[in-house]
Structure 1
């Protein structure tokens, strides 16, 4: 069986990774997300943007994959599983999944904002959030930025192509923890449905995708995903 998994913020939230929307009272709550996640925000205040992403980089490193991440990795024993994620953490990889295609980049990859050369030097430890931190400087003189897809930027072509290929070849698609409102990623399950492929949505809350999927499971990822692969033939009858 070929399984394509599309994961979103919901699965990582169960590990304690807060989404921007969850930070109602924290240090960063007073900032517009666009200020911290756009080329324009970076150009206006790279120290603030770097401080935000360095803190998230550190925070994600302190949490662990949950039962949902581990279940998807376990599916690889019995199926050909491709993970496509909108998340910028590395929890799927740490749970043992491979391949994992990051549509929106990764908090663990960095590059020069000027010459695009990857940056692999060790980053300073950050035990407390700091509003502004000086970004490292590339050998070309450009500033190092997180290799994240910011507002208005195109998705990386490699991961997107792999995602489309997975949707076209999958026997079943499992969509877990995604709001189904962020395009073009939200269009991937629609591609599968148009081909007649079964699409299973795992989400405690309804989404715009819910009316169209083959099966909806109203549970969290950590509750729904362990053992789901074995149950799918019966559930999809």
Structure 2
């Protein structure tokens, strides 16, 4: 059995997900349940998690998933009047597309050269990224340094969003690790036993390496730019 406040909270979260596809904020939950502090919301959410009514989605801001609802006769919503069953079913987490403003945090691993190769720095910072910019797979971000990819629209200071992979096809933009020491962002080309890393700037020349000198660390999945 859930307490009255636990009932009210899970109903509020479920109604908000059905309406907007986005979990309510802790402040919104506090006001909806007329609580004095957010710590009360945290306690209620922890209790619902322990009883497996909801779960928190990892690496996402404001992301809660309703796993199951209380028994039909117990449901008491503090939000607007409940939608018809068909409308609610059409927007359950299993079938609802990811909302456009959903945010994912991915590792930010320092700077990557878009010019002469520089050391690829490892870091523990996280970068919030709109989920719509990422596809399937594991991703990380690198800050672009240099101008050798400007004709591909990749500018100094941009954040390159990289999908982890160790393979690439001709013409793809990749993070290439050279001699296990330096990394660069370039177009990938195979030339027999050689690998050519092509810039996207006519002022730079292609770089050629033996295949055993190059390890692909990922493919470009998207860009973030600050103005």
Instruction: Report the TM-score, using the length of structure 2 for normalisation.
Output: 0.23
**Which has the higher Rg, Structure 1 or Structure 2?**
2
More strand by share: 2
Instruction: Report the TM-score, using the length of structure 1 for normalisation.
Output: 0.22
Larger RCO (CA within 8 A; separation ≥ 6): 1
